[in-house]
Every structure is written in structure tokens, then in C-alpha cells.
Structure 1
Amino acid sequence: MEEIDSLYDNLPEEERIISTILRELIRETIPDCREKISWGAPFYYGRKSICFVWPASIPWGKLTSGVALGFTRGRELDHEGFLQFGDRKIIGRHIFISPEEIDVEQIVRLLQSASALDKK
């Protein structure tokens, strides 16, 4: 946990704010999830990987700005066009450039669906 706290604490301010909001939403919505650094970014696990928070300052994420909230089984979620897939077949993500873009209700709904999918 210390490693993850340190990662969040050392992000550039705008990324830290967005990432912290997303982290709290994940932890409140899926209280039994486990946090773990994978690929240099925070991932959240139930039985398997559920989602991740990927700030642009983690270089191999190919983001130029903002913070991505990704779902490892995104294609299986009813996301109403919220997630982008690019060339990925399964993993979907949404990139937030500012904290004001965070739609709490939509994210909570996706987190609940992703958690339920993980428990099946």
C-alpha cells in the first residue's frame, strides 16, 4: 500500500487530483478490491483484474495528458460509448483531462458492473 500511496503522492498535481478521485470511487464502490502496482500503474483486483488508473506520467501508457480509467473486461460492460478501445479487443478506457469531467454516477455504475462480472 505504501508503494501505491507514494505513486499517487508523486504525480503532477492535476493527475494526482484526478487519480485520487478515481481511486476513492473505486475503493468506495468495490470495498473488497485489492490494490496492486502492475505495469507501473495502480490496478484493482477482485478474483481477477477489474480496473486500473493510468496517469499520463507513467510513460509506457501512451497517454500524452490526463488520467485513464480502464476496465480489463470493458467489452463486456454496458458502457454506452463511454469507453474507448482503440486497437484493443477487450480493455476499454476513458481518459479524464480535468477533475470536472468525472461523472461519478456513470463511473460507479461501471465499477459495480465490472465487480459483478468479476464475481461470476
Structure 2
Amino acid sequence: MLSANKTIDEVLFDLPRREQTIVRRLRNLVLECLPFATEKMMYGVPFYTQNRMICFIWPPSISWGKKKYSLETRGVTLGFCQGNKMANPDGILLAENRKQVHCIYFKSLKEINDDQLRAFLYEADMIDGTFRKMKKK
């Protein structure tokens, strides 16, 4: 059972080994590409925020509401909170009947294309920058 009070490292440690390796790789890419984002636990998983929520990493062993998934059925989710605003010419980001959040799923490390994900993360960061509050004079 996952506790809401666990740190990100504690949650990662408790994940099944195959999920853990995928999550760690995604986390490293997110931290590399979003150096000014704050990493914090929300809904039991790591979210990355700056001006607004930018993205999240959701391992399948952590239930998504009432739905339960496995690495084989869903994979580790990398979700983009403003995914509807992102370029997606190859259809890699999946909306799945959602208006705003778009996701990519990974069932293995070999499915992770570092350069492609860096491009998505940099774009998500640029979109987040459009929400920066204007300073009053």
C-alpha cells in the first residue's frame, strides 16, 4: 500500500523492478530538461510544476482512481498537463478522450527515445512559460 506521505525516492524504491527502471529514466530526462521545475508528490506520483503543472510520471502499479493497470497492459505514463497545446505531428501524444492532458506510455526502456522526449519536455516548458505572471510596475 502506498502512503501519501512517502517521498518520491521511497515510492520509486517500492515499485516493481521493471517499472522502477523506466520511471528512473523518465525522471532523469524530466529533471534534465526542466531544471527550474519543482518536483513534488501529487496523487501519489511525481508531478513537475513551475507556473502550472507541466508533466507527471505515473507507474501502472499506482492505481489511477478506481482503475488498476500493469506494465503489460498500460505501461508507465508520462503525461503532459498542457498536452493539448503541444505539437504532435506523429500522434505520439495520446489524448484518449481527454481535452487537456496527453500521454505517452512505456512498457520497456527500449521504447524511450531520449531525443524525442527532450523535444516534448522543452516544448512543455516553453508552454508553461506562457503562464508566467506579469510583474506589476
Structure 1 unaligned segments of length 5 or more: list them.
none
Q: CA deviation at 1:79?
A: 2.3
Q: Point out 4+ residue stretches in structure 1 off by more than 6 angstroms.
A: none
Structure 1 partner of 2:134:
none
More displaced stretch, 5-14 vs 56-65: 56-65
Asked if 1:108 is matched to 2:118, the reply is yes
Partner of 1:64: 70
**54-63 vs 89-98, greater mean Cα deviation:** 54-63
TM-score in terms of structure 2 length: 0.83
Instruction: Give the number of equivalent residue pairs.
Output: 119
Distance of 1:35 and 1:47 partners within structure 2: 13
Is 1:78 aligned to residue 84 of structure 2? no
Unaligned runs of 5+ in 2: 1-5, 131-137
- Give the root-mean-square deviation of aligned CA atoms: 1.2
Instruction: Provide Cα deviations, 1:32-57, integer angstroms capped at 9, x if missing partner.
Output: 11111111111001111000000000
If the length of structure 1 is used for normalisation, what is the TM-score?
A: 0.94
Q: Which of 1 and 2 has greater Rg?
A: 2
Q: Which has the higher helix share?
A: 1
Question: In 1, distance between residues paired with 2:116 and 2:87?
Answer: 11
1:68-99 residue CA offsets vs partner (Å, 9 max, x unmatched): 00000101101221111112111000110000
Q: Report percent identity of matched pairs.
A: 38
